[in-house]
Each structure stands twice: as C-alpha cells, then as structure tokens.
Amino acid sequence: MKFSEIEAEQWDELKPYVDTCLLPITGLDGTETPSEATNYLEQLRDVMDLVEIPYRGRIVTYPAYHYVYGNEGSQQAIARCCANLKSQGYKYIILITSKSDIMFQINEADLWIAPTEDGNLPSDVEISRKIRELWHS
Amino acid sequence: MSNHEHQDSKHQPVQRKEMSRRQFLSYTLGGTTAFMVGGTVLPMVRFAVDPLLAKGGESTLVKVIEESKVTAEPQEVKFKVRQVDGWYKSETEKVAWISRDASGAIFALSPVCKHLGCTVFWNTHGRNEYDCPCHDARYSRDGKNITVANLPLDEYVVEIQDGFVYLGGIIANTRA
C-alpha cells in the first residue's frame, strides 16, 4: 500500500505485517521535457503496479527518489535513505526503476527491480518470483 | 349627430392600454438578465448532474472463458472491466480463479486475500489450497479461510450464456 493510505493511528497495528519497503527511483536529471518526464513516470507506475497490487498487504511504497545526478552521489544518498528505512524497522528494501541506466550497487537494499539490458520491463511472473525468493531467503 | 357632439368626442382623452416606459424597461432588463443567467447556469447544472442522467442498465457481465474449458482444477482468468467514476472512465484488469465444484457448477473466486489485500495463488505449496504469499493465509478450494484470514475469499457473480462463462460483480462467498 502507499504511504499516504496509512493513517497514523493504523500504523502500530499494521507494522508487524508490513516488513518491506518499496522505494521508487524515477531517475530524472532535469534534462527531460515535460512529456518525457510524464513518460518516465508512467513507465515507473506500470512496473510499480506489478509489485504494489499483488503484495499490497506486506509492502509499503514510499515517496519516489526522483532526481539522480551521476552514480556516486546518488548511490550514497539512496544508500543512506535505505539505511534509515531499515533502522525504523523495515526488514527488506526493494528499489524499483523503469530506467536501465541507473541501477547501481546499494548494499542496504535487498532487491532491484529494473528493466533488462535491452530495455524490457520484467514480467509480473519474474517480479513475483524475485519477491517470493527474497521473503523466503 | 350634431356638430357640437362631434366636437366633444374629438377632444376626449384616448384610453390606451399601453405599458409605461418604466414597465417596459423593467421587463426588458429582467428578461435579458434571466436569459443570460439561464444560459450560464443551466449548462453548469446539466454538467453537474450528467452522471445521474446517463443511461444505466448496461450489462456489467464480462465474457471470460468457454464453459467447456472450466475444470475442477482452479484456473486463473484475467479480464478487463470498464469503470465509470463520475466523469472518469477507466479500464481495470481483474483476476478470478474459476473452477467447478463436485456437482459440476461453475464458480469464480476473487484472489484478494481477506487478511490485508494481497493476491492469493492456487496450489503454490502443493496442498491444493489457495495460498497468500504475504502472510501465509490459506483458503480451501471453495475459498474458505483456513488460517490467518478471518473471512473467506469473495466470489464473482457467474452466468453461463451460449457456452461461455460471464463474470459480474463481487459478492460475499456463498460456499464456505
């Protein structure tokens, strides 16, 4: 479920069941036209649907990290964000993006969901398999 | 008629039933104002109540599979439903697990787990049950809740027409 769907008074009751955080990485850098930015966000939404809908009872989607400038600085910022999320109790962090060129190593994250090298988005079956493997690891 | 009488009638004031200048202006301005207000407000009111005036009765049943292909083993079917929310029309994909019971009757279950809303799958652990990947809720073939969830899986309204299975809205489970 999305972060905005959870009421403050619900959280204590839900927290034991929601152990996975989905952090979307849009991967914009400011050079996009409005329509390109819209396309990137729509692609990201499409791939997020494959995670959010079937697993909405165990995964919380956090606000997206929209802008990425070079791998090193962004890598550190996202890693720190993941570490903070884990420190508040999330057992698993899933990073998700629709851009294939921004997937970099984040030790604090447990799974990357990203397009393949040829730009194709992963299938729902593939995503489900990866998430189940993660939870059973 | 004498000449004298003729002259009297000529000088009598003429009684004409005409509106006054003030009345004429009032009617004209009032009418114009009413026309302009009506021209502005009526389309707004029509727009506001448009969904209420839309013709209903359009069938919500969706053809999903041939009746002959449905077996006792649950199978997943995906179908698209047009949703109208006020002025916003969208098409959403739905999933159902469809099978026959012991008497051969066809029924379709919603895959939405009644615990926290994840999607259940048939027989992922080889127990001939529906399993939820999130918190291990389990449901029988009829959708009856076995563990974790407090309620059985919902059902779809099922209709058979001309050898095809049609699915409608969600209803509470009638089998568990």
Question: Can you tell me the ipTM of this complex?
Answer: 0.86
Q: Rounded to whole angstroms, how far apart are CA atoms A94 and A122? A: 14
Binned at pLDDT 50, 70 and 90, residue B55 comes out as low
CB-CB neighbors (< 8 A) of A131 in chain B: 133
Q: Do B134 and A131 touch (CB under 8 A)?
A: no
Q: Which two tokens stand for residue A62?
A: 């956090």
Span B32-55, average pLDDT:
86
Going from N- to C-terminal start, the domains of chain B cover 14-48, 62-171
Mean pLDDT across B21-50:
90
What CATH class does A3-136 carry?
Answer: alpha beta
- DSSP assignment of B69-121 equals G--SS-EEEEEEEEEEETTEEEEEEEEEEEEE-TTS-EEEE--B-TTTS-B-E
Would you tell me which residues 64-123 of chain A have a C-beta closer than 8 angstroms to some C-beta of chain B? Answer: none
Contact with chain B for residue A15, Cβ under 8 A: no
The C-alpha atoms of residue B89 and residue B105 are separated, in whole angstroms, by: 34
Looking at mean pLDDT, say which of A16-25, A122-131, B77-86 comes out highest.
A16-25
H or E segment to which residue A128 belongs: helix A124-136
Mean pLDDT over residues B108-121, rounded?
A: 96
Confidence of residue A137 (pLDDT cuts 50, 70, 90): confident
Nearest to B134 among A14, A53, A55 (CB): A55
Q: In a mutagenesis test of the B interface, which of A2, A11, A17 is the best target, namely the one with the most B β-carbons within 10 Å?
A: A17
Report the CATH architecture of B62-171. Answer: 3-layer Sandwich (2.102)
Question: In the predicted model, is pLDDT for residue B5 greater than 80?
Answer: no
Domains of chain A, residue spans? 3-136
Predicted local distance difference test score (pLDDT) of residue B119: 96
Check CB contact of A58 with chain B, cutoff 8 Å: yes
Compare A54 and B60 and report the one with higher pLDDT. Answer: A54
